[in-house]
């Protein structure tokens, strides 16, 4: 069984690497060919996919670990805090940090309220 | 937008690591969960860590471990794992125009995860061309090592960690949506992009809530692309009607 497991691991690893690396080589070849034709561009749909994939990842990651109203409220609060911080600072790290802190505080605060009401 | 290479005197690889720091909040808790789940499915610490080091693709790793533990056909496991990772096929072509020539980039594509792609697409245009290899290497290596270390930690001590700090596993993963939000926010530049991005986000959220998590990213991106082309065509037609 162990040998079979390692075979699967290696095949999946090799396949995943090829999925990531081969398109780089193909696109470089494509661009090099186009450069000789004086038109160094990618197809429009491909450039469009970049931001759309990031937007899709955002949508997928929005579903919190806990699937209840506390998770939903904390997600909304965290997103608003992140957005507000980004709008003011236009940086990467600080808005993420503030978003996580607000998400954590709202989760913790609402947890405490629920526990005190139940008790 | 701030320029990562001009705002500090850090070497490019260190700047890349600094820019990738927000990823750790999302990577480490998920990697700990993976290590824990893998050992619970009778994988050794070494096997769990090797999966994270060699495959390095979150969702597909969870599926692979679950399928192997349930005794699924080995070829089916390989096929399903690669199908989930197939979305990565569009990442390198999007980055290619930003990458200076060099063979090292091919090996570095091992680190091209969803998050590193998003970060690189956002950051590389503002990094000077000669610093891009260093920047990407630093960012990708930090993310990779954190994934491997998180898995090993989860495999060795995941159960006691999640028992001791249950809230941490709930809170830290919010770093990922927060990071994606910061990366996508500058793209809301026009009503067209606002509608297209909102459609994509909504579709991805809905598909995930309906448990189609693995199909959600490519399907939502395709929905967004359809919305873009439909609205662009509509705008062009409106413009032509006004001219007549």
Q: Which domain holds residue B133?
A: 10-174
| B59 and B169 in a common domain | yes
| Chain A residue nearest residue B196, CA to CA | A52
Give the pLDDT confidence of B127-146 residue by residue, as tens digits.
Answer: 999 999 999 999 999 999 99
Within-domain flag for A79 = yes
- Considering CB atoms only, which of B22, B106, B167 is closest to A25? B106
Residue B29 pLDDT exceeds 90:
no
- Considering CB atoms only, which of A20, A26, A90 is closest to B91? A20
Give yes or no for a contact between B220 and A59, defined as CB atoms under 8 angstroms apart: yes
Tokens of B10: 């850090």
| B225 and B127 in a common domain | no
| B160 and B47 in a common domain | yes
Residue B63 pLDDT exceeds 90:
no
Contact B197 A15 (CB under 8 A): no
ipTM of the complex: 0.84
**Residue by residue, what is the 3-state secondary structure of A52-76?**
HHHHHHHHHHCCCCCCCHHHHHHHH
pLDDT for A39? 53
Q: What is the pTM of this model?
A: 0.79
Specify the range with the lowest mean pLDDT, choosing from A10-14, A65-69, A90-94.
A90-94
Question: For chain B, how many structural domains are there in total?
Answer: 2
Of B89, B79, B78, B135, the residue nearest B112 (C-alpha)? B89
Q: At what angle do helices A69-89 and A93-118 cross, to 10 degrees?
A: 150
Min Cα distance B243 → chain A (Å) is 26
Give the pLDDT confidence of A69-119 residue by residue, as tens digits.
Answer: 999 999 999 999 999 999 998 877 788 889 989 999 999 999 999 989 887
| A109 and A70 in a common domain | yes
Mean pLDDT (whole number) for B79-100? 91
Within-domain flag for B182 = no
Compute the distance between CA of residue B2 and CA of residue B117 in angstroms, rounded to an integer. 19
Of the three residues B126, B150, B174, the one that is the final residue of a domain is B174
Q: By percentage, how much of chain B surpasses pLDDT 90?
A: 57
Contact A104 B171 (CB under 8 A): yes
Neighbours of A4 (CB within 10 A): 11
pLDDT for B1? 41
| A72 and A99 in a common domain | yes
Compute the distance between CA of residue B106 and CA of residue B102 in angstroms, rounded to an integer. 8
pLDDT for B4? 47
| Chain B residue nearest residue A10, CA to CA | B54
Long-range contacts of A12-15 (CB under 8 A, 24+ apart): A12/B54, A12/B55, A12/B60, A12/B64, A12/B77, A12/B78, A12/B81, A12/B82, A13/B54, A13/B55, A15/B78, A15/B81, A15/B82, A15/B85
| B131 and B229 in a common domain | no
Within-domain flag for A48 = no
Q: Which domain holds residue A58?
A: 53-119
| A69 and A100 in a common domain | yes
Of the three residues B151, B174, B197, the one that is the final residue of a domain is B174
Contact B86 A19 (CB under 8 A): yes
Residues 78-107 on A with a CB inside 8 Å of B are 78-79, 82-83, 86-87, 90-93, 95-97, 99-100, 103-104, 107
Q: Which helix (H) or strand (E) holds B53?
A: helix B45-54
Compute the distance between CA of residue B192 and CA of residue A21 in angstroms, rounded to an integer. 32
Residues 98-137 on B with a CB inside 8 Å of A are 99, 105-107, 109-110, 112, 114-115, 117-118, 121-123
Percent helix, strand, coil in chain A, to 5, is: 85, 0, 15
Give yes or no for a contact between B84 and A15, defined as CB atoms under 8 angstroms apart: no
Of the pLDDT bands very low, low, confident and very high (cuts 50, 70, 90), residue B217 is confident
Residues 203-222 on B with a CB inside 8 Å of A are 203-205, 207-209, 213, 216-218, 220-221
Residue B236 pLDDT exceeds 60:
yes
Residues of B in contact with A95 (CB under 8 A): 178, 181-182
Compute the distance between CA of residue A50 and CA of residue B109 in angstroms, rounded to an integer. 16
| B170 and B80 in a common domain | yes
Give the pLDDT confidence of B167-210 residue by residue, as tens digits.
Answer: 777 887 888 899 889 889 998 999 999 999 999 999 999 999 99
Of the pLDDT bands very low, low, confident and very high (cuts 50, 70, 90), residue B80 is confident
Min Cα distance B27 → chain A (Å) is 12
Per the rule left: phi > 0, alpha: psi between -120 and 50, beta: everything else, B127 is beta
Contact A5 B92 (CB under 8 A): no
């Amino acid at each position: 069984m162990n040998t079979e497991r390692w075979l699967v691991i290696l095949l999946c690893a090799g396949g995943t690497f090829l999925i990531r690396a081969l398109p780089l080589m193909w696109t470089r070849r494509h661009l090099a060919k186009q450069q000789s034709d004086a038109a160094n561009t990618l197809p429009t749909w491909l450039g469009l996919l970049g931001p759309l994939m990031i937007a899709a990842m955002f949508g997928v990651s929005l579903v919190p670990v806990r699937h209840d109203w506390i998770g939903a409220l904390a997600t909304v609060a965290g997103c608003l805090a992140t957005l507000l911080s980004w709008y003011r600072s236009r940086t990467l790290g600080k808005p993420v940090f503030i978003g996580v802190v607000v998400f954590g505080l709202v989760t913790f605060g609402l947890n405490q309220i629920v526990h005190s009401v139940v008790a | 937008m701030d320029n990562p290479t001009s705002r500090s005197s850090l070497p490019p690889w260190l700047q890349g690591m600094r820019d990738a720091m927000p990823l750790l909040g999302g990577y480490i808790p998920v990697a700990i969960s993976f290590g824990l789940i893998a050992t619970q499915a009778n994988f050794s610490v070494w096997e769990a860590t090797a999966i994270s080091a060699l495959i390095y693709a979150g969702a597909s790793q969870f599926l692979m471990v679950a399928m192997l533990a349930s005794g699924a056909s080995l070829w089916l496991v390989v096929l399903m794992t690669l199908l989930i990772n197939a979305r990565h096929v569009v990442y390198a072509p999007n980055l290619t125009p930003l990458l200076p020539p060099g063979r090292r980039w091919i090996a570095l594509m091992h680190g091209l995860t969803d998050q590193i792609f998003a970060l690189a697409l956002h950051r590389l245009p503002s990094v000077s061309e000669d610093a891009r290899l260093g920047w990407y290497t630093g960012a990708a290596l930090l993310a990779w090592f954190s994934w491997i270390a998180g898995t090993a930690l989860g495999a060795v001590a995941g159960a006691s960690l999640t028992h001791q700090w249950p809230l941490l596993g709930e809170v830290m993963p919010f770093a990922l949506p927060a990071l994606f939000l910061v990366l996508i926010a500058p793209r809301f530049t026009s009503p067209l992009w606002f509608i297209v991005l909102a459609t994509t986000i909504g579709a991805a959220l809905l598909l995930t809530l309906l448990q189609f998590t693995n199909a959600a990213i490519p399907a939502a991106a395709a929905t967004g692309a359809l919305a873009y082309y439909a609205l662009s065509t509509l705008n062009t037609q409106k413009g032509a009607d006004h001219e007549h």
